[in-house]
Amino acid sequence: MNLIKPKNLKKGDTIGIIATSGNLNNEAALDCSISFFKDKGFNVVLADNIYDKKRYMAGDDVVKIFQLHKMFSDKNIDAIFCMRGGYGAIRLINKIDYDLIRKNPKIFIGYSDITALSAMFLKKSGLITYSGPMCLGDFGSDKGEIETFDNCFDVLMNDNILEYEPFQKGLNTGGHAKGITFGGNLATLVSLCGLDFIPDEDFIFFVEDLNEPAYKIDKMMTQLTNISDFRKYIKGIVLGEFLDVDNENWLKEIFEEIASELNIPVIGDFRITHNKLKITVPYGAKAEIKGYKFIINNK
């Protein structure tokens, strides 16, 4: 796989805010995020469909695709931040011009529903994207976490080795693994099943979700591990937060069983999450599991 790391973000660059998923449900939060970026020394451009609404989505798919292509092809835009998650990204993936994405690489960041786009950009374009904070829920919140923002901009603006450790000493089956980073929101990733979305090289699977009971997490992980290429290339698992899971012990057992069956290490708990306090993870970068550490080459 020919991986493409986009240019680092720098002061004075232009950030494009795009809406590929849910509709704008908090205009004050959008204004707050715009002010935040400008105060940081960046210019801001909004996608034309930011204020559009079609049912629970940010307007019509045709318009969203046009705006996505426009953001990538516009040489004046240096980075693309997603407005929010929700639902809608999976409706776009068969309409995207992946050659255009590959020829115009730039920072693209989001999580949750945006996992669908990050996975497909990696598979079809080789673009390294970023699983990290978004405009409404993070930069637009008066309860936003400074640690989250500092980490995000450190990742986007510098070439460095990232060494993340769990916020508590959770599950650790032991072992060492290397591969590119792949994963994200579990439910969104599973929605891609039936498509060609699995990287064709060794990967470390980082994963999180919210409001999912243990049996559904078991079901979704089983669905993924039933895919031959997933089993072939997965070399380790990094657990984020599974918020509001009904049974923590069952969750632990599920991933211990997967680790044993696939003979791979599993470590947790990391701030890969829907919570305010989160880390930014390059999506498609070379990484390793070493002890309790999740080490990512962000160069």
Residue 8 lies in a domain: no
Q: How many Cα atoms are found within 13 Å in the side-chain-facing hemisphere of 8?
A: 13
Q: Are residues 270 and 180 in the same domain?
A: yes
Q: Quote the CA–CA distance of 257 and 279 in Å, as a whole number.
A: 27
Q: Are residues 227 and 254 in the same domain?
A: yes
Which one of 118, 131, 141, 208 is the catalytic residue?
208
**3 state DSSP class of 124:** helix
Q: Are residues 28 and 147 in the same domain?
A: yes
Give the number of other Cβ atoms within 10 Å of residue 28's Cβ: 10
Residues 51 and 19 sit within 8 Å (Cβ to Cβ): no
Q: Are residues 166 and 141 in the same domain?
A: no
Q: Are residues 26 and 149 in the same domain?
A: yes
pLDDT of res. 173? 94
pLDDT of res. 29? 96
Q: Are residues 51 and 95 in the same domain?
A: yes
Which one of 112, 118, 125, 141 is the catalytic residue?
112
Residue 9 lies in a domain: no
Residue 172 lies in a domain: yes
Say whether pTM exceeds 0.85. Answer: yes
pLDDT of res. 21? 98
- What does the angle CA 184 – CA 187 – CA 189 come to, to the nearest 5 degrees? 50
Residue 181 lies in a domain: yes
Looking at the 3D structure of the chain, how many domains does it have?
A: 2
Q: Are residues 48 and 176 in the same domain?
A: no
Residue 122 lies in a domain: yes
Q: Are residues 254 and 292 in the same domain?
A: yes
Q: Are residues 110 and 171 in the same domain?
A: no
Q: Quote the CA–CA distance of 56 and 116 in Å, as a whole number.
A: 17
pLDDT of res. 170? 81
Q: Are residues 148 and 30 in the same domain?
A: yes
Residue 153 lies in a domain: yes
pLDDT of res. 178? 98
Q: Are residues 39 and 83 in the same domain?
A: yes
Q: What is the DSSP letter of 97?
A: -
Q: Which domain holds residue 238?
A: 162-298
Paired with 185 in beta bridges are: 208
Residue 247 lies in a domain: yes
The continuous run of DSSP H or E covering 119 comes out as helix 115-125
Concerning whether 208 is annotated as a catalytic residue, the answer is yes
**3 state DSSP class of 85:** coil
Q: Are residues 33 and 146 in the same domain?
A: yes
Final residue in a domain of this structure, among 133, 158, 183: 158
Final residue in a domain of this structure, among 158, 183, 216: 158
- Using 70 as the pLDDT threshold, list the residues of the chain that sit under it: 143-144
Q: Quote the CA–CA distance of 66 and 243 in Å, as a whole number.
A: 34
Closest CA to 135 of 252, 249, 45: 45
Final residue in a domain of this structure, among 158, 181, 198: 158
**3 state DSSP class of 126:** coil
pLDDT of res. 250? 97
Q: Quote the CA–CA distance of 115 and 251 in Å, as a whole number.
A: 22
Q: What type of residue is 21?
A: S
Q: What type of residue is 62?
A: V
Instruction: Please report the sign of the dihedral spanned by the C-alpha atoms of residue 234, residue 238, residue 240, residue 246.
Output: positive
Residue 6 lies in a domain: no
pLDDT of res. 233? 98
Give the tokens for residue 139: 């930069």
pLDDT of res. 143? 67
